[in-house]
Amino acid sequence: MKLVIVESPAKAKTIEKYLKGDFKVVPSVGHIRDLPKSNKKAIDIKEGFVPHYEISKGKEKIVDEIKKLAKKADEIYLATDPDREGEAIAWHIKEAVGLKKPKRVLFHEITELAVQDAIKHPRDIDENLRKAQEARRVLDRLVGYDLSGLIWKKVRYGLSAGRVQSPALRIIMEKEREIRAFIPENFWIITGQFKTKKNQELILICEKEPRDENETNDILAHAKKGSWSITSVKQTEAKRSPKPPFITSTLQQTASSRFGFSPSRTMGVAQKLYEAGHITYMRTDSVNLSTVALSEIYAVIEKQYGKEYLSPRTYVTKSKNAQEAHEAIRITKPSVKHAGTTDEQKKLYDLIWQRTIASQMTDAKILRTKISANISEPNTIPPFSANGNVVIFPGWLSADTGSKGEEIELPKLAEGDPLTLISIESEGKQTEPPPRYTEAGLVKELEKRDIGRPSTYASIIKTLQDRGYVEKINKALLPTDTGEVVSDFLEKNFAEYISDSFTAEMENELDDIANGKKEYVKTLKDFYGPFLKDVKEKDKLEKATVLGEDPRFKCPLDESHGTMLIKLGRAGKFLSCRLFPECLGARKLDGSIMEGPKETGEKCPDCGGNLIEREGRFGKFIACANYPKCKYIKQSPEEEAKKRTGVKCPLDGGEIIERRGRFGPFFSCANYPKCKFIIKSRPTGKVCELCGSLMMEGTKTIPERCSNKNCPNHNPHKLKK
């Protein structure tokens, strides 16, 4: 038996169709090992940045199954994806399963020919490629762990920073500051409606956009009085060349602008198309097309459009680190125009088919026309004009119709032809600030600055949104208050490490490890030593939750305290008295008063402390003054009644009540935290016959079970067995 190991079940199913003989294809279902959450256990820095991996939770059965099959196999092939991450997964499978000499096979498309050819030409695992991925993983963990730890202390617990996500956040913030600094200017657009001598309608726009209303009125007055005629008609024939085949970044950008897909959504859909054998591998920055693919593309163009539409082209890959052995993203069967099982897959496949075919077609020919007109009195007002364009030979636009755009055909006129003014009007507008980045725009900017790599763009943007640093509003990426504070903190204190040049250079060094030009340990040591020193030096900084003064408002409780401070809370920015916590005066940013905590005169039933009324992001509530040590929050009488169980605590006799923690509801003694008795589910009041512990509610299949994990009655199914 010959065993082939891939990542996904869908990929395994497709490949198994193409392999003849005694082949068995099994999936690892992605990564099977990872670094533990604790950084102390994860990486041994002193021994040379040695990572200590462990089997990922839930993957134990998969590893055991692969081990069993590997013992029976005569040959073992590791057919994971053809990139750094795929190489790393292959190595992890080898190490976790204990394979001695597995064969590594690569294919950039899942077709019968490509799969069978790969099996015939195996190689060893590329250690340099694997080490480059390991270096990236270790580096990201070290940077994230140390920077995040500092941000927890200086900004707020639970926040994080990353080696590549932080430069991306800085880029978004730079755009936001540019927008805030923008000063709008007034301008006017003047539009005239005319008729030609053949009674055809013509809309002309003033070529000047006046910044002054008096000048605008002057143009309007002269335009209404003057005698109009055509001053020039210019026609030029232009060519539009097709774009190169898709790479990861351009596919993400085009899918975003055409369909509104996020980068992560695009990559997920592309993954399904790849695994089904419809397209080549979707993580690439090479625009190459194989000679076999090109000959098939040429045949499709000649058959569907004609020989005059064929124009063989070679494109140059811009990225200096792109692997030329890789291909662009293309369809695997050019003759198949439509594929995919879902609407998303069909849309993306069509897009890739169009770009692939169009890339080898002739230029489109466009006739561009500009008509200018003016009044007979020379130099009185600026010229008015209209621009039109008509496709006179479609070329590659026949295949990629989505790139065609709107055609504007103007009436046939000649210089000196008279015009009749029907109406003329002006529209006042303001100059607009530069637009915020869309997801597609940010991908383009990251690629331009050489930050990240094709496989990382989608995860960078998703991470920024998941962590609440950026939110998407009307397709634009806006930094949140938290994102702004974190970015400001990093820019002030770690500007070097989140700069374009440093981040891009680090990516190049990781590429050098992959190419065997640099050593793993030296690269990490050269970076981490100075970085850790800088982090430790910043440990003495003040907390960064104070963002400066707001001179517009005084403290609502005592005006003698002067201007208020802008602070960052969990719900965003707010204004606080500079004497906090002695003075609890606070306002919202719009100036409305936020009432400080108020004594209620009641005592906390958990710890005996005072109950006070607070204001949170969801409104007012009553809680213990000893928060966060005591997490008691008062509920309505109805809610309180629901939480009572009527069951006595076996330790001190207090009533067991329902509470809520960070991981959901739990049940504990009313005298908590003095009494530490806790169970996960609602107690039934009965006692376990085997161990004497309290019984608690179970599920539909297990009505009740013992609260003692070590008791067989904790899982009655096991007891029956």
What's the confidence (pLDDT) of residue 626?
79
State the burial class of residue 684 (Cβ atoms within 10 Å of its Cβ: 0-12, 13-18, 19+): middle
Q: Domain for residue 579, yes or no?
A: no
Whichever domain contains 534, its CATH number is 1.10.460.10
Whichever domain contains 354, its CATH number is 1.10.290.10
The residue out of 540, 574, 592 marking a domain boundary is 540
pLDDT of 618 strictly over 60: no
Q: How many CB atoms within 10 Å of residue 639? A: 11
**pLDDT, average across residues 182-205:** 96
> Of the given ranges (474-478, 490-494, 614-618), which has the lowest mean pLDDT?
614-618
Q: Are residues 121 and 6 in the same domain?
A: yes
The residue out of 362, 378, 398 marking a domain boundary is 362
Cis previous bond, 581, omega within 30? yes
> Of the given ranges (160-174, 440-454, 661-675), which has the lowest mean pLDDT?
661-675
CA of residue 97 relative to chain centroid, distance: 33
495-550 residue pLDDT tens: 999 999 999 999 899 999 999 999 999 999 999 999 999 999 998 887 777 777 77
DSSP structure class, residue 560: G
> Of the given ranges (294-298, 347-351, 687-691), which has the lowest mean pLDDT?
687-691
The whole-angstrom separation of Cα 604 and Cα 613 is 12
The amino acid at 711: C
**pLDDT, average across residues 662-670:** 78
pLDDT of 324 strictly over 60: no
> Of the given ranges (285-299, 519-533, 696-710), which has the lowest mean pLDDT?
696-710
The whole-angstrom separation of Cα 302 and Cα 294 is 12
233-288 residue pLDDT tens: 999 999 999 999 999 999 999 999 999 999 999 999 999 999 999 999 999 989 99
The whole-angstrom separation of Cα 609 and Cα 339 is 66
Q: Are residues 454 and 527 in the same domain?
A: yes
Q: Are residues 479 and 405 in the same domain?
A: no
pLDDT of 642 strictly over 70: no
Whichever domain contains 99, its CATH number is 3.40.50.140
More confident residue, 161 or 665: 161
**pLDDT, average across residues 311-328:** 75
Q: For the residues of 306-325, what is the DSSP string, one character each?
A: -GGGB---------TT--TT
CB distance 593 to 546 below 8 Å = no
pTM of the predicted model over 0.85: no
The whole-angstrom separation of Cα 160 and Cα 143 is 10
What's the confidence (pLDDT) of residue 567?
80
Q: Domain for residue 143, yes or no?
A: no
Q: Domain for residue 607, yes or no?
A: no
Q: Are residues 115 and 36 in the same domain?
A: yes
More confident residue, 578 or 71: 71
Q: Are residues 476 and 418 in the same domain?
A: no
The whole-angstrom separation of Cα 272 and Cα 335 is 20
């975003």: which residue's tokens? 256
Q: For the residues of 389-411, what is the DSSP string, one character each?
A: EEEEE-GGGGT-GGG----BPPP
What's the confidence (pLDDT) of residue 242?
97
pLDDT of 700 strictly over 80: no
What's the confidence (pLDDT) of residue 266?
96
Whichever domain contains 225, its CATH number is 2.70.20.10
CB distance 575 to 553 below 8 Å = yes
Q: Which residues are catalytic?
A: 281
More confident residue, 477 or 39: 477
The whole-angstrom separation of Cα 201 and Cα 419 is 10
pLDDT of 163 strictly over 80: yes
> Number of helices (H) and strands (E), helices first, in the chain?
19, 31
Q: Domain for residue 561, yes or no?
A: no
Q: Domain for residue 121, yes or no?
A: yes
The whole-angstrom separation of Cα 159 and Cα 103 is 43
| Residues in contact with 121: Cβ distance below 8 Å, sequence separation at least 6, in sequence order | 105
Q: With bands split at pLDDT 50, 70 and 90, how would you rate the model's confidence at 671? A: confident
The whole-angstrom separation of Cα 444 and Cα 461 is 12
């430069």: which residue's tokens? 167
Q: How many structural domains is the chain composed of?
A: 5
High-pLDDT (> 90) share of the chain, %: 63
554-611 residue pLDDT tens: 777 766 666 778 787 766 777 877 777 677 677 776 666 665 567 788 888 777 888 8
**pLDDT, average across residues 89-112:** 94
Q: Domain for residue 290, yes or no?
A: yes
Distance (Å) of CA 613 to CA 542, 616, 636:
29, 10, 14
Q: Domain for residue 570, yes or no?
A: no
The whole-angstrom separation of Cα 113 and Cα 110 is 8
Q: Are residues 284 and 307 in the same domain?
A: yes
The whole-angstrom separation of Cα 71 and Cα 76 is 10
What's the confidence (pLDDT) of residue 652?
84
CB distance 651 to 640 below 8 Å = no
Q: Please work out, in degrees rounded to the nearest 5, the angle formed at the alpha carbon of residue 329 by the alpha carbons of 327 and 334.
A: 100
Q: Are residues 25 and 74 in the same domain?
A: yes
What's the confidence (pLDDT) of residue 549?
77
DSSP structure class, residue 654: P
Q: Domain for residue 118, yes or no?
A: yes
The whole-angstrom separation of Cα 326 and Cα 317 is 11
């997920």: which residue's tokens? 268
pLDDT of 23 strictly over 50: yes
- Write b or e for each residue in 251-265: b if 16 or more Cβ atoms lie within 10 A of its Cβ, otherwise e: bbbbbbeeeebbbbb
Q: Are residues 225 and 300 in the same domain?
A: no
Domain that holds residue 13: 2-125
Helix (H) or strand (E) holding 605: none
pLDDT of 26 strictly over 90: yes
Q: Are residues 500 and 523 in the same domain?
A: yes
Q: Are residues 282 and 394 in the same domain?
A: no
Q: Please work out, in degrees rounded to the nearest 5, the angle formed at the alpha carbon of residue 352 by the alpha carbons of 348 and 356.
A: 170
Q: For the residues of 89-120, what is the DSSP string, one character each?
A: HHHHHHHHHT-SSPEE---SB-SHHHHHHHHH
Which tokens is 374 given? 């003016």
Q: Are residues 378 and 472 in the same domain?
A: no
Q: Please work out, in degrees rounded to the nearest 5, the angle formed at the alpha carbon of residue 39 by the alpha carbons of 33 and 43.
A: 65
**pLDDT, average across residues 191-216:** 96
Q: How many CB atoms within 10 Å of residue 505? A: 12
pLDDT of 352 strictly over 90: yes
The residue out of 304, 338, 362 marking a domain boundary is 362
Average pLDDT of the chain is: 89
Q: Are residues 231 and 335 in the same domain?
A: no
| Residues in contact with 32: Cβ distance below 8 Å, sequence separation at least 6, in sequence order | 55, 56, 59, 62, 63, 89, 92, 93, 96
Which tokens is 354 given? 């169009």
More confident residue, 233 or 634: 233
**pLDDT, average across residues 431-436:** 96
What's the confidence (pLDDT) of residue 321?
56
**pLDDT, average across residues 130-144:** 93
CB distance 677 to 656 below 8 Å = yes
